Amino acid sequence: MKTLSENRCFGGVQGVYSHASQACGCDMTFGLFLPAEAQDGPVPLLWYLSGLTCTHENAMVKAGAQAWAAEQGIALVFPDTSPRGEGVADDPEYDLGQGAGFYVNATQAPWAAHFRMWDYIAEELPAALDAAFPVDLERQAITGHSMGGHGALTLAMRLPGRFRSVSAFAPIANPTESDWGRKQLGAYLGEGADWAAHDASLLMAAKGFDGPVLVDQGSEDQFLDLLRPEALAQAMAARRQEGAFRMQKGYDHSYFFVSTFMEEHVHFHAEALYA
């Protein structure tokens, strides 16, 4: 584990760290906010998964989450969105390749060698955090934006018992029926693979989540047709899933939207983490 930076932040520490990832076959960077309470022992952990084109830094700098996490005594981890570096496959289009890992384990060339973001988020990074920092892996929650909302929802539903709560900001909600999804799942997993395992709407219909769910979606989101939020809302309603899907009037897809509702999301997770 290499420390890249550490800054005092709301009584705690906002750090940036890198480590050698076996899952991704390259060095990976992540941000970690530890509240003041971490000086006395392990604290609950909230994951924030970012969207297309993002790194660990976007939400760490723009979302304003540290203030609310410090208030609740919760750690925040901001992973990167894909493997990076020399020798890591990329694509000239922004929605494939580096910055667009989609939180899956790629099986197709040239992506399979490094793009194993599912294993990285589900297994490797939690183990690395547990070994190096005072975080309590018995109390975890997860959230994310756009592609990261897709990742948060699919990880939460496919790893029952791992997360006490899940939320999402404008998630890619139905990728098997969207151009944002068919392109990436086809490239990473291949035609005929089990795409349904990475579709939050289909997972919600099939199994749901064993805890509360909160989804916020802006009504003026410029990517609504690609996100397909109505599929997830319908699946939640049909399943009578504990939680809420909220259409927020006038908001778009930006971090202005995310930061507006971040306080409510952190409080939502804190209630579950301290139950």
Q: Is the peptide bond before 35 cis (omega within 30 degrees of 0)?
A: no
Among 198, 216, 221, 269, the one annotated catalytic: 221
Where is average pLDDT lowest: 74-83, 190-199, 202-211?
Answer: 190-199
Among 146, 165, 167, 201, the one annotated catalytic: 146
> Is 19 in the active site?
no
Distance CA 15, CA 52 (A): 22
pLDDT at 192: 82
Q: Is the pLDDT of residue 53 over 90?
A: yes
User: What is the total count of domains within the chain?
Assistant: 1
Q: Is the pLDDT of residue 32 over 90?
A: yes
pLDDT at 226: 97
CATH number for the domain that contains residue 123: 3.40.50.1820
Distance CA 269, CA 81 (A): 22
pTM reported for the whole predicted model: 0.98
Q: What percent of the chain stands above pLDDT 90?
A: 99
pLDDT at 193: 87
Among 56, 253, 265, 269, the one annotated catalytic: 253
Residues β-bridged to residue 47:
77, 142
For residue 188, the enclosing domain spans 2-274
Strands 213-218 and 75-79: unpaired
Q: What percent of the chain stands above pLDDT 70?
A: 100
Laid out side by side, the sheet with 26-34 consists of 2-9, 12-21, 26-34, 75-79, 43-49, 135-144, 166-169, 213-218, 243-248
Strands (E), 50-205: 75-79, 135-144, 166-169
> Is 253 in the active site?
yes
Residue 91: Cβ-neighbour burial (10 angstroms; 0-12, 13-18, 19+)? middle
Residue 93: Cβ-neighbour burial (10 angstroms; 0-12, 13-18, 19+)? exposed
> Is 56 in the active site?
no
Distance CA 61, CA 83 (A): 20
Q: Is the pLDDT of residue 2 over 90?
A: yes
Q: Is the pLDDT of residue 157 over 90?
A: yes
